[in-house]
Amino acid sequence: MTATVGAAGPKDCRVSRVETYLVGTRWRNFVFVRVETDDGIHGVGEGTLEWQAKAVEASVFDLARRHVIGRSAFQIERMWQDMFRNEFARGGPVVNSAIGAIEMALWDIVGKAVGRPVYDLLGGRCHERIPAYANAWYGAGADIGAVAEAAAAVAAKGYRGLKFDPFGSSGRDPERREIARAVDMVAAVREAVGEEMEILLDCHGRFSPGSAIEIARLLEPSRIYWFEEPCDPENVGALAKIGRSIKTRLATGERCYTKYHLQALLASGEVSVLQPDIIHVGGILEAKKMAAMADAIYIPVSFHNPFGPVATAAAIQLDACTTNIVMQESFCEYDVPWRFDLLENCPRPVNGGYEIPTRPGLGVDLNLDAVRAHPYDEDAYLPMWGDDWAKRF
Ligand SMILES: [Mg+2]
């Protein structure tokens, strides 16, 4: 038997060029990559990392030169292994995010080459629509009444949930008045959004285990869906102590960069929702593997997604082909208004969720005029332990 292909043969899509674009927003710089191939197909990816845009950009060029230029875009797994293992000082968020940006663009290229969306290459679509939760809606800052009013407006848009950090500039062990204020703010939000809406709280790793456990208990009357990063995530024993001491679901994962760390995190059995960041774990396929690790202990994933629109497009592709998703984080409607100009077919929530696109690859492309209109901003930073940081949203 002879296998035949079309007259021109299958496309090999050898990478010929990698470009980066940094886009300054109010509180972070987006890092976009554009990868060209000798077949004329190009792909886009995103490597945004909290406040290390220049470092990621430098890493993208190192990785591209050493491991990517000249190779077929179809060799994603092999190239990923080379970018991760051959760099030796591996597993950190800078190099991982550079890997993630390139990997995303490779999937975009492969999808375009075969004429299918990325989710069709990773198991196929298994949802009709992706439910979302809103974040970055609480720029009102300190005033409880204003935050409750903003929460009611989020609920009216149809999101399944909303997330916020009510703890202001609190440190490891807040004083009683700080705790009481946060508990009052959450109660006001619950009252404003009604009983159907899920409330998710992000602690950004700020507490000691003792304070975290007490605060989670004080919040129980407001029926919180998840309590996120109550303490810093490196020490899995400390997180596990909190997880087994509270009734609310423990959520974590955005600062868990590798499956090697993840297996230790999940081994405790105390994590109830896993939040891999598709960029920071090194891209779409690695995030898919992490979702499978979570599925092995019957817990859902909710992909961390506070960055730019290419990462959101990748998240929607991954959500579409992953059975154990719960809801997708969305900053879209509370980001800079020109976010939607940055891409052709920029993802946008409809009635609090995402439709699943059917275009090949990631289904988006950079609008380079709009991208160039918002250059790198060295002041795009969020001092999370200072006063009123949420006002930067
Ligand atoms: Mg978080």
Question: What is the per-residue pLDDT across 31-48, written as a single tens digit (0 to 9) for each?
Answer: 999 999 999 999 999 999
Which one of 42, 67, 280, 304 is the catalytic residue?
A: 304
Mean pLDDT, the chain, whole residue set? 95
Which residues are placed with Cβ below 5 angstroms of ligand 1, an ion?
202
Are 200 and 318 part of one and the same domain? yes
Measured in Å, residue 240 CA sits from the centre of ligand 1 at: 17
Domains contained in the chain, number:
2
* pLDDT category of residue 8 using cuts at 50, 70 and 90: low
Residue 104, amino acid:
M
Inter-axis angle of helices 284-295 and 309-320, nearest 10:
40
Are 254 and 273 part of one and the same domain? yes
Q: Domain range holding 294?
A: 120-361
Res 3: pLDDT:
46
Are 102 and 153 part of one and the same domain? no
pLDDT above 50 for 5: no
Are 124 and 113 part of one and the same domain? no
The residue with greater pLDDT, 78 or 384, is 78
151 part of a folded domain:
yes
Residue pair 59/95 in contact (Cβ under 8 Å)? The answer is: yes
Which one of 67, 204, 261, 374 is the catalytic residue?
A: 204
* pLDDT category of residue 11 using cuts at 50, 70 and 90: confident
Res 6: pLDDT:
45
Are 24 and 169 part of one and the same domain? no
10 part of a folded domain:
no
Question: How many whole angstroms separate alpha carbon 219 and alpha carbon 358?
Answer: 42
Are 23 and 65 part of one and the same domain? yes
User: Does 374 participate in catalysis according to the annotation?
Assistant: no
Are 100 and 197 part of one and the same domain? no
Measured in Å, residue 225 CA sits from the centre of ligand 1 at: 14
Burial of 173 (0-12, 13-18, 19+ CB in 10 A): middle
Res 353: pLDDT:
98
Measured in Å, residue 347 CA sits from the centre of ligand 1 at: 21
Res 41: pLDDT:
98
Res 389: pLDDT:
85
387 part of a folded domain:
no
Are 190 and 101 part of one and the same domain? no
374 part of a folded domain:
no
Read off the CATH number of the domain in which 161 is found: 3.20.20.120
* pLDDT category of residue 9 using cuts at 50, 70 and 90: low
User: Does 304 participate in catalysis according to the annotation?
Assistant: yes
149 part of a folded domain:
yes
Measured in Å, residue 126 CA sits from the centre of ligand 1 at: 26
Res 303: pLDDT:
98
For residue range 71-92, what is the model confidence (pLDDT) as tens digits? 999 999 999 999 999 999 989 9
Task: Out of 67, 87, 117, pick the residue that ends a domain.
Answer: 117
Question: What's the rounded mean pLDDT across residues 255-267?
Answer: 95
158 part of a folded domain:
yes
Are 137 and 107 part of one and the same domain? no
Instruction: For residue 370, give the nearest of 26, 117, 32 by alpha carbon.
Output: 32
pTM of the model: 0.96
79 part of a folded domain:
yes
Which percentage of the chain shows pLDDT scores above 90? 92
Res 4: pLDDT:
44
333 part of a folded domain:
yes
Measured in Å, residue 277 CA sits from the centre of ligand 1 at: 10
Read off the CATH number of the domain in which 73 is found: 3.30.390.10
Which of 370-374's residues contact partners 24+ apart within 8 Å by CB, and which partners?
370/338, 370/341, 370/342, 371/21, 371/23, 371/32, 371/342, 372/21, 373/338, 374/23, 374/24, 374/25, 374/336, 374/338, 374/342
Measured in Å, residue 275 CA sits from the centre of ligand 1 at: 8
pLDDT above 60 for 1: no
For residue range 361-376, what is the model confidence (pLDDT) as tens digits? 999 999 999 999 999 9
Are 50 and 126 part of one and the same domain? no
pLDDT above 50 for 381: yes
- Of 18-27, 108-117, 227-236, 378-387, which gets the smallest average pLDDT? 378-387
Task: Out of 76, 95, 117, pick the residue that ends a domain.
Answer: 117
Task: Out of 117, 145, 165, pick the residue that ends a domain.
Answer: 117
| Secondary structure E strands in 25-171 | 29-37, 42-46, 130-134, 161-164
Measured in Å, residue 202 CA sits from the centre of ligand 1 at: 5
Question: What's the rounded mean pLDDT across residues 93-106?
Answer: 98
Are 69 and 200 part of one and the same domain? no
Are 125 and 102 part of one and the same domain? no
Measured in Å, residue 10 CA sits from the centre of ligand 1 at: 43
pLDDT above 70 for 250: yes
Measured in Å, residue 115 CA sits from the centre of ligand 1 at: 35
Measured in Å, residue 109 CA sits from the centre of ligand 1 at: 30
